[in-house]
Structures are given as C-alpha cells and as structure tokens.
Chain A
Amino acid sequence: MELSHVVDANELLGRFLTDRSYFSLTAVKPKAFEPTRGLTLSVQRVDGLTLDQIWELGRTDVIEKLQTNKTLYGVGEIKTSTVLSQKLTIAPDPPPCRHANLLGWPAEKFKQIAITQELAAATKLILK
C-alpha cells in the first residue's frame, strides 16, 4: 500500500506498547515515548485501520522485527497534530510501508523528558 510522503496533521499514529513499563492500567506512560539512540522514535501510521489490522501490523512490523523477545500489550494512539505541536517532525521511513520516525528532538535532556510527558498525556491507551 502506498501512503503519502507527507503525514497529514489529522492522521493517527500508533506507538506499539512492547514493554509492561510503557503503560499503567489507565494511561500510556512517558517511557513509551523515550527516543532511542540518535534521538529517533519509531511509530506506525495507523489511520483508518481496524483494531484487528492494528494488532496484525504490530505483530508483523514491530514484534517480529525487534531483536529481543517482546510481547505486544497494546497500542498508544496519538494525533499527528499533537506531535507537531511539540515541534517534532514526522518522517515516513518505509519499509515497512507504515513506519515513520519522530525526529527533531531538542538537545536539552529536560526538554526531551517534558516532551515525552506531553506526548504520553495526549495518547489514547488501547490494550490488546
């Protein structure tokens, strides 16, 4: 499937929850949005997908590609506009075709932590 090269501000992004520490019973935690080395964070473009399709995407494009054994606990859904409001950019990064990276993290660590908190607070928790 061909997706636009530009992520629309209204698109929904999914951050797959592959660690128990990424969420509480009611909310996604900031840890789910911690960028990795090089200050990038992987998300998937999940707009328009059913939940079953989202779980399938999580299994094939995330869990099976990780280099450690992980469990798919759920997904955090966040609007692109929320990400953009934190002055981050979203760069489509296929393959897989729905993969994108959140880039443009500030150098200051306290600002990075603040952004993870804001992103988590605006994310809808959907458990599997």
Chain B
Amino acid sequence: MIIELTDRERSDYFTFPSNLGMSSTADFIQNESDELKAELSRTNTFGEHISILLERLNQIFQECSKENWDGQGSERIDEKSYSTAINVALSLPYDIPIPDINIRPSDGGVIFEWFRGSRQVFSFEVGHQNELFYAGLFGVVQSNGIEFFYDRIPDNVIANIKRLFV
C-alpha cells in the first residue's frame, strides 16, 4: 500500500497533516510519519536545508532571549512564536531559498524574510495563535494580510514567496 503524504504541486516534504486519531492505526501512521521525517532530515537534499534553518532559529533564541537584546529597548523573544516558527521552518518547501530569520524588537515575534532588493521583498511574522502576518513588495505591487499556519504554510504565502524567484 502506498500512502501519498504530500501535495504533488508543492515540495514541503516535511509537512504532514495533524493526526487526531485515537486508534492503534492512527498511532501507527503517526509513528511512520515521524520516522519518515527523521529519515528525510538525515538526507543531503533535505537535511541541509532543515539544519540551516534550525541552526539559525537556535542562534536567534540565544541572542534574543533577554529583554533589550539590541540595546534599543527591544522585547525578548516570544517563546510561543518561536515554537511555532520551528514548525513553520520544517514546513518550508525545500525548493524555496532559505530566508533571513530575525526577531521583531517591538513584540519579540519571529519574522521570516526573503529579500531580493529594495522592492522585491516578502516577510511574515509568526503570531501567538498560529497567525502569519505577512507583507510583500513586488515592484509597485503590495500584498499584505493575515493567514494561519495549521500543519502547512498556506498556498497564498507560498505563492507570494515564489513571486520573488520567478
């Protein structure tokens, strides 16, 4: 039996639907998907992408875990945003360039940013309740709003990131 776990149009191979089942079959599927994730993270193709993202997240956690980490009155890192950001990072399609990851000094939220130039930029901040507050500038065109992260990054957000790289 083959179980297709991913959308063919997307390359977010680390994204698996939430397993809300209570049966032994549900447990089996959860174990299998965890094992598959672990296997993928050990491969050259996907593992390097993931390890760079997680390393960067760990680095900013260390750097921004105290208030005023920038000397200008910043908030310390928001741990809820940080823990969701780890899942967001694991869900980023591997064919998208690795973003800059920073902390917003006003609220400690984790922000992912793809910067290709002054008017070629897209960012989203990870909120407390799985919100992704996003904004992009594509030449003269602006795009901004709120999406939600539940297991996978919404198509609208992925499409906006890809607009920078076509």
**Contacting A30 at CB < 8 Å: which of B71, B107, B113, B127?**
B113
Q: Is the interface of B mostly helix, strand, loop or mixed?
A: strand
User: B137 contacts A117, CB within 8 Å?
Assistant: yes
Chain B residues at the A interface, C-beta cutoff of 8 Å: 68-75, 100, 102, 104-107, 109, 111, 113, 115, 117-119, 121, 123-125, 127, 133-137, 142, 144-146
Contact B117 A26 (CB under 8 A): yes
Report the 4 A-B pairs with minimum CB-CB distance, sorted nearest first: A68-B71, A66-B71, A114-B135, A109-B133
Q: How many chain A residues have a CB neighbour from B under 8 Å? A: 31
Min distance, Cβ B112 to any Cβ of chain A, angstroms: 11
A80 partner residues in chain B, CB cutoff 8 A: none
A82 to chain B, nearest CB (A): 13
Tell me whether A42 is interfacial, beta carbon within 8 Å: yes
Closest to B103 in A: A34
A113 close to B70 (CB less than 8 A): no
Task: Write the chain A residue with the least CB distance to B119.
Answer: A121
Closest to A26 in B: B117
